[in-house]
Structure 1
Amino acid sequence: MKIKLETTRLIISSISFDDLEKIHELHSLPETDEFNTLGIPKNIDETKSVIAEWIEKSSEKNESFTLKIELSKSKQFIGLISLNLGSPKFRIAEVWYKLHSDFWNQGYATESLKKVLEFGFTELNLHRIEAGCAVENIGSIKVLEKVGMIREGRKRKVLPLKKGWSDNFHYAILSTDKKSTTHKN
């Protein structure tokens, strides 16, 4: 399934192998890797394997949608956001995102997450969307809370980060929850 979502400032759409170099650069930045469990790829072939899996799950199996985030005006790649579907019976998914550090603190993560949540609830008829984040990842915590996600718990020492095992905050939002209107899309 090919996806294209638009906000005032962003285009959020399906990735392809044409995005390999940009995705590899994003995954290779130490600052974007600080709270990421994927790790920095050894080489571009490793990134290509990861992308191949994402594309397969999106286009053939429709079990996850990894999307690129681009600026509407310039079409500049600024990051990734993904919605991974769980069992159809439970109508649940997990979301994650990663933005290039040049684009932090400008509201792009919040804007793209809000749009993907909307897509999940309206187009995919999901009941619940979850996210996790390292307890020290203040930026991500702010994004999750701005869009109306509720912190439901804390898992101890579950994230294998470079600096060691980290606790994880568990967030979720339901289709029936009041959504944030802080950022217009």
Structure 2
Amino acid sequence: MTVKETNLKECYIIEPKIFNDQRGYFFESFNLNKFNELTNSNIAFVQDNESCSSKGVLRGLHYQEDEFAQAKLVRVIKGSVLDVVVDIRENSPTFGEHFSIELSAENKTQLFIPRGFAHGFLVLEDQTIFSYKCDNYYNKAAERGIIFNDITLKIDWQFNISELILSEKDKELPTFETLFK
């Protein structure tokens, strides 16, 4: 696997080594020892989640607060997404900055998102299956979020905003400025 740091400190793009032949392909999607060595971390994932969504669904920008914060390793099993992360670590040199990348079943690229980041994704194809590992258990009381179209963050979702499909909860999320004055 190849690991590249994004413009956001400790947030990594992970590209697996893929072996193709006449039967199809094979790749190691995760190896804890290699992962920790290449990212210089000590992660122990405890929960796997998966969602299936239609084109135009936007999930996010979500995060868990305080001791319930979660690091995530995300990937797409079927279809494609525009994946977006925002550094919300107030002491970070990249605080308030974001990074986006297209993840797809075709490119098999993964993104490691450390604790202290808000995360969201826009589904680019129908029946997209999105998978992620978390290093901390989900806690509903600690769930927080930032509105996807926050004017301070200036995220280009590369999609017609009027065609987005959002949950009622995600439509009502606060702005970045409201949360981090």
Q: Under a length normalisation based on structure 1, what TM-score does the superposition of the two structures give?
A: 0.31
Q: Tell me which protein shows more strand as a share of its residues.
A: 2
Q: Under a length normalisation based on structure 2, what TM-score does the superposition of the two structures give?
A: 0.31
Q: Tell me which protein shows more helix as a share of its residues.
A: 1
